[in-house]
Structure 1
Amino acid sequence: MTQNYCQAAVKMHARIKSRFCFLALCLPLFANAAADGSSAATFAKPHQQVDIGGRKINLYCSGQGATTVIFDSPAGDAGWNWFKVQPEVAKHARSCIYDRAGFGFSDSSPRPNTSENAVDDLHRALSAADIKPPYLLVGNSLGGSNVQVYTYRYPGEVKGLVLVEPQSEDETMRSNKASQGLLEKVYEMVKEHDKQCLQAATKGFTPRSNAAASCAGNPSQHFGPVLGKQVKAMMMTKSYWRTRVDEANAFATSNEQLRALRKPFGDLPLVVLTRGVSPYMDPSKPQSAVNKAMEDENEQIHKEIAALSTLGKQRVVPAASHGIQGDHPAAVTQAVVEVLDQISKCSNRLRCDGAPLARDVDGRVSP
Structure 2
Amino acid sequence: MNKSALSAAAFLLAAAGAHATPPAGQDALAGAQVKVDVGGRKLNMYCTGKGSPTVLFEADGGRAGWDWSAVLPEVARRTRACIYDRAGMGASDPAIRASTVANASKDLNFLIKNARMDAPFVLVGAGYGAMVAQHYALRSRGAVTGLVLVEAMHEDALPADRAAHLDAALACLSAAEEGKTVAACAYPATGINGEIGPRLAAAQAAQVARPSYWRARASELDSLETSASQMRAARKPFGDMPLVEVAHGEPAAIAAAVMEVLDKQR
Specify which of 152, 167, 176 is matched with residue 153 of structure 2: 167
Alpha-carbon distance between aligned partners in 2 of 1:239 and 1:60, rounded to the nearest angstrom: 21
Question: Secondary structure of 1:81's partner?
Answer: helix
Specify which of 16, 29, 40 is matched with residue 54 of structure 1: 40
Specify which of 245, 259, 262 is matched with residue 218 of structure 2: 245
The 5 A counterparts of 1:88-99 are 88-99=74-85
Question: Secondary structure of 1:64's partner?
Answer: coil
Which one-letter code corresponds to 2:132 in the other structure?
N
Which one-letter code corresponds to 2:245 in the other structure?
V
Gaps of 5+ in 1: 1-32, 173-182, 206-210, 276-323, 347-367
The 5 A counterparts of 1:33-48 are 36=22, 38-48=24-34
1:171-198 residue CA offsets vs partner (Å, 9 max, x unmatched) = 12xxxxxxxxxx73x4333222211111
Alpha-carbon distance between aligned partners in 1 of 2:152 and 2:188, rounded to the nearest angstrom: 26
Alpha-carbon distance between aligned partners in 1 of 2:144 and 2:112, rounded to the nearest angstrom: 13
1:197 aligns to what?
172
Runs of at least 4 residues off by over 3 Å: none
Instruction: Answer whether contact 1:57 1:107 (CA < 8 A) is retained.
Output: yes
Question: Secondary structure of 1:223's partner?
Answer: coil
The 5 A counterparts of 1:1-367 are 36=22, 38-172=24-158, 184=160, 186-205=161-180, 211-216=181-186, 223-275=196-248, 324=249, 328-343=250-265, 346=266
**Structure 1 residues 195 and 49, CA, compared in 2 at 3 Å: closer, same or farther?**
same
Which one-letter code corresponds to 1:98 in the other structure?
Y
1:125-171 residue CA offsets vs partner (Å, 9 max, x unmatched) = 11111111100000000010011101111131001111111111111
Alpha-carbon distance between aligned partners in 2 of 1:249 and 1:234, rounded to the nearest angstrom: 20
Instruction: Answer whether contact 1:212 1:236 (CA < 8 A) is retained.
Output: no
Gaps of 5+ in 2: 1-18
Instruction: Answer whether contact 1:145 1:166 (CA < 8 A) is retained.
Output: yes
TM-score by length of 1: 0.64
Question: Secondary structure of 1:149's partner?
Answer: helix
Instruction: Answer whether contact 2:22 2:195 (CA < 8 A) is retained.
Output: no
1:12-46 residue CA offsets vs partner (Å, 9 max, x unmatched) = xxxxxxxxxxxxxxxxxxxxx96616532121111
Alpha-carbon distance between aligned partners in 2 of 1:73 and 1:45, rounded to the nearest angstrom: 16
Instruction: Answer whether contact 1:71 1:138 (CA < 8 A) is retained.
Output: yes
Instruction: Answer whether contact 1:37 1:225 (CA < 8 A) is retained.
Output: no
Instruction: Answer whether contact 1:222 1:228 (CA < 8 A) is retained.
Output: no
Say which is worse superposed, 109-118 or 97-106, in terms of deviation. Answer: 109-118
Q: Percent same amino acid at aligned positions?
A: 42
1:330 shift after superposition: 1.1
Q: Report the count of equivalent residues.
A: 245
1:50-99 residue CA offsets vs partner (Å, 9 max, x unmatched) = 11221101110011112100000000000001000011100001000000
Question: Secondary structure of 2:78's partner?
Answer: coil
1:202-224 residue CA offsets vs partner (Å, 9 max, x unmatched) = 1112xxxxx422212686x9522
